[in-house]
Amino acid sequence: MNQNLTTAILVVSFGTSVNETRRLTIDAIESAVGSAFPDCAVYRAWTSRIICAKLLKRDHIKIDSVKEAMIRMKQDGIRDVIIQPTHVINGLENEQMVKDALEFSEEFSSVRFGTPLLTDDFDHEDIIKAVTEEFSDLSEEDMLVLMGHGTTHYANSVYAALDYRFKDRGYLNIFLGTVEAYPAIDTLLRIAAQRKPRTVILAPFMIVAGDHAQNDMSGDTEDSWRSRFEAAGFQVRCVMKGLGQYPAVHRMFIEHIRNIPNPG
């Protein structure tokens, strides 16, 4: 780190144990942030302790928790901290991240937070534009199904709201689903049975194309989304590209940092 820098951006991600997708997504986001804010040091923290423990044991790679990163920044002489999460929604992980960071608020001149990817109407419009540009060759005969994570937190309603907004913008064959909440795979299968698409295209609506994308979405087990759509008679194509690979998503996070009010 440049010892003259006293302002840092802590990029907080859930994390992934899949190194290839980490390089394409989390690493790429952090690099984009560093390029956009050359006067700030960029630090990393992950909120999934399970993934961090797995990486440490398997690859001997140590990833800081939010608390560990705050301690590290204090030791490095950082005075002003900007925290930008790469979480998709403001759910349980993001709320805990804020609590953990605020425990150290007295240790710095300022601690400020950017917002998750989907926080306001502008974000929803931006992500619709990013997805439709990414799948600009989507045929009306096909059906694009985006797999989100899902949560028991009330913020899960973002997925259904965004699904509705796609339709409101005229994208009638783009659907949102979640692994662990609503809309679920059963709902998507019923919609597919009604629409009878030529091809069902599955893509992760997560920052990384990690374990969920590789197993729950495209895996060989009979309960994966790919297997269930194929068992229902549909031709399926899986796109293994996380949102963190979209340059438009990098720009969204950068804009979130720029929109953080100045301290004081």
Short-list 172, 168, 164, CA closest to 144: 172
Helix (H) or strand (E) holding 198: none
192 Cβ contact partners less than 8 Å away, ≥ 6 residues apart: 143, 200, 229, 232, 234
Q: Which residue has the tokens 């662990």?
A: 180
**For residue 188, which amino acid is it?**
L
The span from the CA of 225 to the CA of 185, in Å, is: 7
CB 188 within 8 A of CB 175: yes
CA dihedral 116, 120, 124, 130 (to 10 degrees): -50
Quick one: CA dihedral 257, 11, 13, 251, positive or negative? Answer: positive
The set of catalytic residues is: 149
149 Cβ contact partners less than 8 Å away, ≥ 6 residues apart: 88, 178, 179, 180, 206, 212
Q: Which residue has the tokens 């960029």?
A: 42
